[in-house]
Amino acid sequence: MGAFNKINFIREEIKNIPGIENKPKDGVASFTSRIAYAVSLGFKEKEIFLFGLLQWVSIGFGYLLWVQMLDWIPESVWRSAANSDEGSIADWILLAWSFVCVGLTAFPVGILTGCMGATHFLHKQGRESTIATCFKLVLPQSWSLWSFHWIDGWITVNQILDRLPKKGGRKNPVLSEALYYAWKLGVSGVLPSIVTGNNLFTSGKNSVIFVKDNLVEVAKLRAGYSALCWIVGIGTYVGTIFLFMAVDIVPKNDEVYQHIYTIYFWAAVPILIAVGVISLILRPIFVLALCDLYSDHMDEKGFPVELPENPSKSISALVAFGCLCFIVAVVYIYRIELGIIDKLSTPYGLSN
């Protein structure tokens, strides 16, 4: 929450720009125009594809870890949830577990995305880009990268869940989408700013200036990336339906409450295919294009980006990440002894 408060001003600044709600119509064309640069750089610096692949693995692990808690919740609780408008302590436990899973995923994703950006800046400066060099430049910024991607990941996950069909429909969908768009647009310059040595708060301020000064180009790039992700998302939704039709995941005459874990586990197939498309193709193009725009922006401002030759070392974020992994492992192994299973077995409407 402290990290979010540091950069929450970004959304407020961007949403107040006149006409910001009017998204560019030629965003996909602007995005695809960046493919040539990203592909050419990718073939020169092949570690970019490795970073994308490792991101894919990290997200897949995070999803499968999250799914495990669904297997701890008994059928009676799922049934009571469908028949009750009240909450349960299981809601809060699952929410906390979801938040932690996003955080565990955010650390490697943040570092690897930062490495993608570092590849661009190293190439622009004519320096050799290797896996070791990228990590050496990025790891000192671990705290900022982790915090930013944890916040951004949590906002993204909540928006995806908000868009799914639900009982009673969505509340204020127009406002929700507007705030989400303002956030995503506003943070466009955060990653390249962090990679070039700035902390989270300074990167937030730099991002606002970057977006305001390059609003048309950034908005087109963001709109194109979002549109293509939407297409991938719709394909995932359709693919999930066909998968469930082709595979007997829920046996005939069985109630869905008996197979919640199985349903979400099998849903990993289309979800991870979609994540692969985004991680290996769309996201690298988007990240490299943003870094390229940011470089041009800094050159125009008279402050060309210069990466440090020998950045200072930082291991505190890595230690914190290791501690979080240890805590999750303890919860996973000793969930019965810690009373988590009993809490998750509390029917909805009886939490008090």
Cα separation, 285 vs 298, whole angstroms = 20
Q: Which of 79-83, 137-141, 198-202 has the lowest mean pLDDT?
A: 79-83
For residue 352, name the pLDDT band (cuts at 50, 70, 90). very low
Q: 58-101 pLDDT, tens per residue?
A: 999 999 999 999 999 988 888 887 776 676 788 899 999 999 99
Please state the domain extents for the chain: 2-344
For residue 167, name the pLDDT band (cuts at 50, 70, 90). low
Which of residues 243 and 161 earns the better pLDDT score?
243
Cα–Cα–Cα angle for 43, 274, 134, nearest 5°?
A: 40
Predicted confidence at residue 27, as pLDDT, reads 56
Cα separation, 209 vs 188, whole angstroms = 11
pTM of the model: 0.90
> Mean pLDDT score of the chain, rounded to an integer?
87
CA torsion sign, 124 to 126 to 131 to 134?
negative
Give residues with Cβ within 8 angstroms of 249, minimum separation 6: 243, 259, 262, 263, 266
